[in-house]
């Protein structure tokens, strides 16, 4: 079983893990200012947000972790009823805020935001995803 990085716990990826790179609370002012000057509804800015903050934040993951994370997002995207807006909101069940500095009401189309994340992750991590896809996940 694949373990979560730096732990002995099983790796259980979720869609909201992609937003970890948007966390501003524990980053410096320059990081926060740079992120907040971008508009998540602008296609150009959105791609910069995804590449510079979301994908970059996940680079520590192994190719297997990246593969499973992208597969989890793919599964959500295939589910027409998946509520992507909820990922941008406070999770009352877990008593956790979203790492996103933007609420769901500020994101015009949360689903398309994650479609762009999916496409960019597949583009940037292409070789790693292909490598993991050639393996048997039950052997991890």
Q: From the CA atom positions of the chain, what is the Rg in Å?
A: 15
Nearest to 12 by CA among 69, 66, 76: 69
Cα gap 3→12, rounded to integer Å:
9
pLDDT (0 to 100) of residue 45 = 98
Which pLDDT belongs to residue 136?
Answer: 94
Residues 95-126 have pLDDT tens digits of: 777 889 999 999 999 999 999 999 999 999 99
Segments of the chain scoring below 70 in pLDDT: none
Structure confidence at residue 55 (pLDDT) = 97
Give the model's pLDDT for residue 61: 97
For the chain, domain boundaries: 15-139
């Amino acid at each position: 079983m694949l373990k979560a990085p730096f732990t002995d716990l099983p790796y259980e990826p979720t869609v909201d893990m992609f937003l970890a790179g948007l966390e501003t609370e524990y980053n410096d002012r320059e990081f926060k200012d740079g992120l907040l000057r971008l508009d998540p509804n602008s296609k150009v800015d959105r791609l910069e947000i995804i590449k510079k903050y979301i994908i970059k934040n996940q680079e520590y993951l192994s190719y297997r972790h990246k593969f499973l994370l992208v597969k989890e997002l793919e599964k959500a995207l295939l589910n027409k009823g998946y509520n992507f807006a909820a990922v941008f909101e406070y999770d009352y069940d877990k008593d956790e805020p979203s790492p996103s500095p933007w609420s769901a009401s500020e994101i015009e189309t949360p689903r398309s935001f994650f479609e762009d994340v999916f496409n960019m992750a597949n583009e940037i991590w292409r070789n790693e995803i292909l490598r993991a896809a050639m393996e048997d996940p039950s052997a991890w």
